[in-house]
Amino acid sequence: MNPATCFAGAERLQPTPDRTGRQGAHRCSALKRNPVPMDQAKAHYTLHAAPGSCSFAAHVILEEIGEPYTIALMSPGHPETHEAWFRTLNPKGRVPVLMIGNLVITEAPAILVHLGLARPDAGLLDTTGENLVRSIEWFNWLSGHVHAVSVRMIWRPDYFCDDSTAAEPIILKGRQHLAADFARIESALTDRIWAVGESYSIVDPYLLVFYRWGNRMGLDMRRDYLAWTDHSLRLEQRPAVQRCLQKEGVSLWRR
């Protein structure tokens, strides 16, 4: 897989060389620097993403709603987030970023909510009663704690301390947090088909991101999280999820 590729719907856009003749994200960068005109705002999305990252959930929902979109996939480790053109889009320097015309949305939960609201006929975000509250509850906890604290302690211990000798205890503590977090997810999904209410929603592919990360960390997800595994298998059967896995070149199961 090319380390930096763009897809428009099911069509792959080939990267073009820069002045030095190097191949890479340059076609993608051109798309990123030139927002879709406002008269196309309702018809086309551009998602800046990294393969297998939390942006995967937004990618799945874009496939689910069926609107035309372009996905600009970054290189491994997504170094493009440090470049000036990207910092103009998102000064926080991270994916995902969703562009609709001149509107730029950052943060996975905000993007997922936007997509759910944009296509109410798809039934992916119930805005009535308790289900909306439960969706926000899931997003706040998964993004603000599980991802920002537990996962980051394991994969980015340097974020918490400059002393490299402190990395091992930070990782150990992160794994303790993550075990408790994953146990809560397992409990919440026990005897349930979907995470919120009685139907598939924008929350479900976000949970799939964390399940995949558990496999990447070497956890025995199938053995230890039976309800969550059933939930993930249901998601894997969805054509939208299968298309996204193929486009991003990632697996739910392999490390």
Structure-model confidence comparison of residues 3 and 183, the more confident one: 183
State which residues form the domain around 192: 130-238
pLDDT at position 3, please?
A: 35
47 three-state secondary structure: strand
Check which CATH number belongs to the domain holding 29 and give it: 3.40.30.10
Which token pair is 83?
Answer: 């470049």
Does 10 lie in the same domain as 115?
yes
Say what the pLDDT of residue 126 is.
Answer: 96
Kindly report the pTM of this predicted structure: 0.85
Task: Extract the tokens encoding 38.
Answer: 């406002």
pLDDT digits (tens, 9 = 90+) for 72-117: 999 888 889 999 999 999 999 999 999 999 899 999 999 999 999 9
| Residues 177-205 pLDDT 10s | 999 999 999 999 999 999 999 999 999 99
How far apart CA 20 and CA 247 sit, in angstroms, is 28
- 60 and 159 share one domain: no
DSSP labels, 98-159: EEETTEEEESHHHHHHHHHHH-GGG-----STHHHHHHHHHHHHIIIIIIIIIIHHHH-GGG
How far is residue 29's CA from residue 14's CA, in Å, rounded to a whole number?
A: 12
User: Total structural domains in the chain?
Assistant: 2
HSE value, Cβ hemisphere, 13 Å, CA-based, for 51 = 21
Residues 102 and 47 in one domain: yes
Give the pLDDT of residue 42.
55
